[in-house]
Chains A and B, each alone.
Chain A
Amino acid sequence: MATATAEKPPAAADAVPSFTVTLIIRRFDPEVDEEPRWQDYDVELYGTDRVLDALHKIKWEQDGSLTFRRSCAHGICGSDAMRINGRNRLACKTLIKDLDISKPIYVEAIKGLPLEKDLVVDMEPFFESFREVQPFLQANSTPGTGKERVQSVADRARFDDTTKCILCAACTSSCPVFWTDGQYFGPAAIVNAHRFIFDSRDDQAKVRLDILNDKEGVWRCRTTFNCSEACPRGIQVTQAIAEVKSAIMRGKP
């Protein structure tokens, strides 16, 4: 081994090992298919590649009809949440080396939102719920002469976790309650309500608590923790929902 490497040109010796990985993707073309179908692809990949790179390789080199969403490719835009080996993940944050490549990798669209094509779902119901919780600052006061609303470090920390949301829908579409009841606001809307309910500069917490104190609001949550485990930003989603539940019971944040 040692002699072999010594004699080989440096380029070959430094070669990064690559693997043939099988991806089984749940395809659906609304113009042709009655029902989704599974299709497999063999792709040559490095351990440092991500599932998104595998999808790109398939689309660019094997089958241009494969349809999926992505934009930033760096876990910021929230476009590419999908179900990878049965769990919701961002394709751009899932490294091949973290998956068991001795078996095929199953990739399918997130569940509970209308399937449009291949890995693309209609996100409109999801954003509809997001808009309903009034996810913007509503302050009754006008900022002082300094033009800023001053907030203490502790007050800012109170809702820090829920500011990190990128609206990828991994949480909402991992929720068994949401799968059967599409009317449920879902974890992401509650996370984004939490972000303003517990913001000391905002004055409309009461309104949002009223919106979520609904048949289809926080009380639908059955604490399965799928959302917390799915969130690519590591947000403690179930904890945030629990905090909103107790704020409703107290009648104030």
Chain B
Amino acid sequence: MWLSTEASTIMGGLFVSVQTAGTPPKASKKKPRPAGTLYRGHEGMWSWVFHRITGVAIFFFLLVHVLDTALVRVSPEAYDAVIGTYQTPIMGIGEVGLVAAIVFHAFNGLRIILVDFWSKGTRYQKLMFWIVIALWVLTMLAFVPRHLTNVFSH
């Protein structure tokens, strides 16, 4: 996949610089990564990157969520034990990430629908991207304080 190759070239770059740090002659001439540079796309490309990352993340969350919910049919005690671990602050912070991903994916999904089906959608895609970001920030500002007070006061 594109993401994994880009990520691995970034990783590769990090790895090489770590490797050469101990050997002065090599470290002195710092060369760019042998792989190509990261393509410098604009709003459209990054919105797609985030859309795919959040989409895959939500998918894996739902997969786990279906499994843990299905546990209730196997053993209610085991279900209670697993669900109990979700009450911890770490999970509470994880939930912030999950909501952040879903909210971005949902708003940007509506943007993609407009790009596809509204005749002027392609012309306003950048503006719509920033509207998505604004709506995302507003939603998170409304959600995060309330949620975290809940998480840390119980």
A residues contacting B by CB (< 8 A) are 24, 26, 35-38, 83, 85-87, 106, 108, 111, 174, 176-177, 179-180, 222-226, 228-229, 236, 238-239, 242, 245-246
B142 within 8 A of A: no
Taking CB atoms and an 8 Å cut-off, the chain B residues in 1-57 that contact chain A are 1-2, 5, 31-32, 34, 36-45, 47-48
5 tightest CB-CB pairs across the interface, nearest first? Answer: A225-B44, A86-B40, A239-B122, A180-B2, A224-B45
Residue contact A223 to B116, C-beta cutoff 8 Å:
yes
Residue contact B116 to A242, C-beta cutoff 8 Å:
yes
Residue contact A87 to B39, C-beta cutoff 8 Å:
yes
B residues contacting A by CB (< 8 A) are 1-2, 5, 31-32, 34, 36-45, 47-48, 112, 115-117, 121-123, 125
Residue contact B31 to A176, C-beta cutoff 8 Å:
no
Can you list 10 contacts pairing A with B, beta carbon distance less than 8 Å? A38-B31, A38-B34, A86-B39, A87-B39, A176-B48, A223-B48, A226-B39, A226-B42, A229-B44, A239-B122
- How many Å lie between the Cα of A238 and that of B48 in the bound state? 14
- How many Å lie between the Cα of A106 and that of B39 in the bound state? 12
A-B contact count (CB 8 A): 82
Residue contact B44 to A226, C-beta cutoff 8 Å:
yes
- How many Å lie between the Cα of A37 and that of B31 in the bound state? 9
- How many Å lie between the Cα of A26 and that of B116 in the bound state? 37
Contact of B48 among A36, A224, A229, A239 (CB under 8 A): A224
Known contacts A179-B2, A225-B45, A239-B122; A83/B37 CB under 8 A:
yes
Min CB distance, B66 to chain A, in Å? Answer: 27
